[in-house]
Structure formats: structure tokens, C-alpha cells
Amino acid sequence: MAFHVPEEYYYSKDHEWAQVDENIVTVGITEFAQEQLGEIVYVELPEEGQKVTQNQSFGVVESVKAASDLYAPVSGTVIEVNTSLTDDPSVLNDDTMNQGWMIRIEMDSEKELANLMRAPDYKKLIAEK
Amino acid sequence: MAQKTVLCAEHEKSGAKMVEFAGWYMPIQYIGLREEHDNVRKNVGLFDVSHMGEIRFKGPRALESLEWLTTNEVAKLNEGEAHYSLLPNDQGGLVDDIFVYCLKKNQDYLVCVNASNKDKDFKWMREHNKGAEITDESNIWSQIAIQGPKALALCDEVFEMKCSSFARNRIQPAQFQGHQIMIATTGYTGEKGCEVFVENKGAVALWQALMERGQKYSVMPIGLGARDTLRTEMKYSLYGNEIDDVTNPYAAGLGWVIKPQQKDFINRSGILSAKEKGIKQSLVGFKMLDRGIPRSHYLLFSFDNKEIGKVTSGTHSPTLDEPIGIAYISSEFAKEGSEFFVDIRGRKAKAKVCKTPFVSAGS
């Protein structure tokens, strides 16, 4: 199965993607993550204003099978939440890379981006799975 | 190294996602849990359940041994009949939950046991045997479950006999392309259908025949993922979740397969005295009033914050499209409609005891 892995995004080892626009980072889970989880039926996201820390859980997605934590790719403050996902998590099964974005974070430090992968490395990671 | 069933190559050919389960390399999913689940409720699904154990009791003392080892009344079974039953341990809990099939009254019985418990069960049976010839036949038999509203129509065609006229909980020896089989009208989904024991060397041919002839019934292979959601919707117990070596079977709601008035069995007095002292916990089904999906091991709390129980199984029901759960709860909360909290990762979400099975299926 070929996954869509946009070149311009950053990726975490926990299969979140991060799209960086100056100091604002939009976060979601990768197509690979969705495929591994199976059909997503439930999402729990943080509130606006909440602080998140790199590699710490900021929410939960659940498939029929199991619950999985979502990990923040960078530290910062949540400035926007895609609340439509809570009402209709099925968006995540259809378009996790765009419409399925979860939160926008105002990032504390650009330096943390160095801990993330770029597309070629992420493609390698999922190819090994 | 996980064991492989004879049908492993068939699963891999169909693109199944394979996982290790109870020491076996098994398909957890083929095309998707929900599609597979729905297909069993609407049409028909095939399950490779060859990992299950088969233990044979033969000889003049087969009945006596099984009566002692199990809680249900084996003497009631006539040739070709089967029942659900329990293997009690001597501590008040359960060694396993099982199905007992009578192949010849008083002389020949097949016991189907959980894969994860098979070696433990076999050892236990031998240690508490009352003179039966007990053999582990798990390496002889593959097992294919055919479940769903169209399952028996498919079986009628493939086995060229009127399976659809069989009563529930029967077993019928037969042949398939010269291979020995036993067709049992049992299952773990709540749907009509059967579980077929087939000699290993005939399993691939049978699987392929069912897949091929099943096309017109929209047959699909079904993974362990959907097997679990299907049984959860029926509130069927899973050993390791609802029941284990310390479970009082009355608390688990399994009193209907315990016959202490009719016969003696291992730890009969212990199980009875626990019942007479009063069952403190009951196994119930519940639904969520607040958002969230219950999962096993989540704790239950009363509204005044006392811990009152624990979830044993929970999922998002594909049929109902809402979360459902099974839990042990303090008996005073076990009544239908009773409300409580489930602790979902630190958040207290309201839930309510409901009627079970959660769905009305065809069997």
C-alpha cells in the first residue's frame, strides 16, 4: 500500500505529521497510522489554550480495536482544535493528511523540529514495518 | 515461534494482517474489522479457528470422568448433542470454559477448549481423570466456523446435506471429499451457523470450497478482531476477560450451566457455598451516557466516588455504532438502568447498565 507522505511535512516516530508555517504547527496522524489503527471511531482532543509538550500525549484516537495516544510533535500552546473530528471521526479514515488535521500549536522553539523526520526518513521508517 | 494453522497460506493469499495470538500465528483482519463484522451479521463469514483445542474422552468411564470435571450435566447429552460447560478448579475459579460434544453416549465425547488453555486443560483433565481414555487431538483437527444468516444455506450446498434443518448445539459426523469432518451447529457470534472440525489434510480444500461456493452468498473470511466484537455484542464470555481462574461462575452469569442438584463435580461445595454467601459482583452489560469507549481494566465508580467494579471487555459496537461494555459491578448496581461512572483515562464518564445481548442476532 502506498501512503501519501508530503515532502513539506515533518514526521514523528509515533506517526504524527507536522506542517510548519512560521511558528504555527498543524498536527495530524499519518495515513500509515490510520491504516495500522483501522477504522477510527472516536477522538479526544485538547482544549484551546492548553500547553502541550513534545513527545507527550495531547489526545487519544480509538479504533474499534483499541485506544492509542496522540503525541505532540513540538511543545507549545494549542491555538486551534479541529472540533469537527469529535463529531465525525470518519474524516480521519478518508483524509487524515488534510481535512483530518487535529490541532494547531504555537510552537515554543523551532529547535525542536530537529527531533522530527523529513519525508524520506519517514518513508524509510514505514517501509521497514 | 508461533504455530501456524493449516490454513495460514490461504490467509496470507487473501492479504490478511497476521498476529500472534495464544501461541498461534492468526489473521486478525482481512479487509477491515467493520466490513467483516457486518458481513457476518448480514451474510456469512468464515473463521479459521484451528487454534482451538480438541480433547477426546473415550471408554466406559468417559462419562463419569466428564461429569466430575465439568459443571453441566453430561449424562443428559444424547449422541449428536452438545452443550456449553465449565471446568471448575479446586479454588472456586475456572480452569476454562468449554463445549462438550457427545459422539457416542457414555463412550465417546469431544471437548473443545480455548487455545490459550489447551495444555493446562489437558494436564488438569489427566490429573483429575476418573478412568477415561483422554487424548489431545488438537494436532489432528482443523476447525472452520461458518457463521451468519446465510451460513447454513452455504453449508447445505458444500456438504450436500440439510445442515439448515439441524437444531442448535448438535454435532454430525460426515465426509467432505473423502475427508472426515464433524459439523457442529455451534458458534461464537450469535448468528446461525456451524463450526466444522475437519482433518488437517482436508482443511484447505474445505476452506477453498466454502470461499468459492460462498461467492453468491457474499462470503468473506473473518479475522480475530471481528470475532471479538461479534462475541462482545452477544455478551459471550472470553476466558481471560470475563472469566479466569478466580471467577465465581455464578457472578459471571453462568449459573445456567452449573448443575449441583443433579451431580457432583470438582469443588461443587466450594462453588455452592460462595453462592450461598451471596454474590458480591455481577457481570453486566452497559452503554455510555457520556462520550468515550470503555476498555478492559477501566474501573467503575459510584456517583459518590466508591470503586464498584471493573470493565472486562469494551469496544465500539459495529452493529449499533455506539460504545458497549461488559463489566463486573457490585451487585447492588447490577440492575438494568442503574447509572455509574467509568474512569476513562482519568475522566469520569457516565454509563448505564443495559439489557444483553446488546444486539438480537439470528441464532
Counting the structural domains of chain A, the total is: 1
Please indicate, yes or no, if residue A1 is contained in any of the structural domains: no
Handedness of CA A122, A126, A127, A129 (dihedral sign): positive
**What pLDDT does residue B360 have?**
92
| pLDDT number for residue B37 | 98
Measure CA B101 to chain center: 14
What is the pLDDT at residue B1? 79
pLDDT at residue A65, rounded to an integer: 87
The three cell numbers of residue B241 are 476477560
Q: Are B271 and B260 in contact (CB under 8 A)?
A: yes
Whether residue A99 lies inside any domain: the answer is yes
Looking at chain A, the whole-number percentage of residues with pLDDT higher than 90 is 93
What does the buried/exposed string (b/e) look like for B12-34 if buried means 16 or more CB atoms within 10 Å of the residue's CB? eeeebbbeeebebbbbbbbbbbb
What domains can you pick out in chain B, each with its CATH number? 3-51+139-233 (3.30.1360.120), 53-136 (3.30.70.1400), 280-354 (2.40.30.110)
A54 belongs to a structural domain: yes
Q: Are B315 and A60 a contacting pair at CB < 8 A?
A: no
Cis? peptide before B221, omega within 30° of 0: no
- Phi, then psi, of A16 in degrees rounded to 5: -95, 150
Q: Kind of pairing, strands B24-29 and B3-4?
A: parallel
Span A20-52, pLDDT tens digits: 999 999 999 999 999 999 899 999 999 999 999
Domain that holds residue A46: 10-128
| A4 in contact with B, Cβ within 8 Å | no
* Sequence-ordered list of residues with C-beta below 8 angstroms from that of B55, at least 6 positions apart, any chain: B110, B111, B113, B118, B121, B122, B125, B134, B135, B136, B137, B138
Residue B65 CA, distance from chain mean position: 23
Tens-place pLDDT, residues B130-178: 999 999 999 999 999 999 999 999 999 999 999 999 999 999 999 999 9
Is A89 within the bounds of a domain? yes
Question: At residue A1, does pLDDT exceed 70?
Answer: no
Give this complex's ipTM.
Answer: 0.85
Q: Do A38 and B225 touch (CB under 8 A)?
A: yes
Nearest to A39 among B34, B292, B293 (CB): B34
Residue B226's nearest CA partner among B11, B39, B33, B362 is B33
Min Cα separation A114/chain B (Å):
31
Does some domain include residue A4?
no
Cβ contact (<8 Å) for A42 and B345? no
Note whether residue A73 is domain-resident. yes
Contact B315, B235 (CB under 8 A): no
Cβ <8 Å between A41 and B291:
no
Distance, in Å, from the CA atom of B81 to the CA atom of B101, rounded to the nearest integer, reads 6
Residues B278 and B286 sit within 8 Å (Cβ to Cβ): no
Angle between helices B33-42 and B224-233 (to 10 degrees): 50
Tell me if B130 sits within 8 A of B65, measured CB to CB: yes
Residue closest to B254 by CA, chosen among B290, B229, B228, B279: B279
Would an 8 Å CB–CB cutoff place B15 in contact with chain A? no
Which CATH number does the domain housing residue A78 bear?
2.40.50.100
Residue with cell 488453555: B117
Question: How many angstroms separate the Cα of A79 from the Cα of each of A27, A51, A102?
Answer: 12, 9, 11
What is the identity of the amino acid at B191? Answer: E
> Do B293 and A39 lie within an 8 Å CB cutoff?
no
Are A85 and A43 in contact, with CB atoms under 8 Å apart?
A: yes
Grouped pLDDT means (10 residues each) for chain B, 363 residues:
94 94 95 96 98 98 98 98 98 96 98 97 98 98 98 97 95 97 98 98 98 98 97 97 96 96 96 91 97 97 98 97 97 97 96 97 80
Residue of A nearest to B17 (CA): A36
- Alpha carbons within 13 angstroms on the beta-carbon side of residue A77 total 4
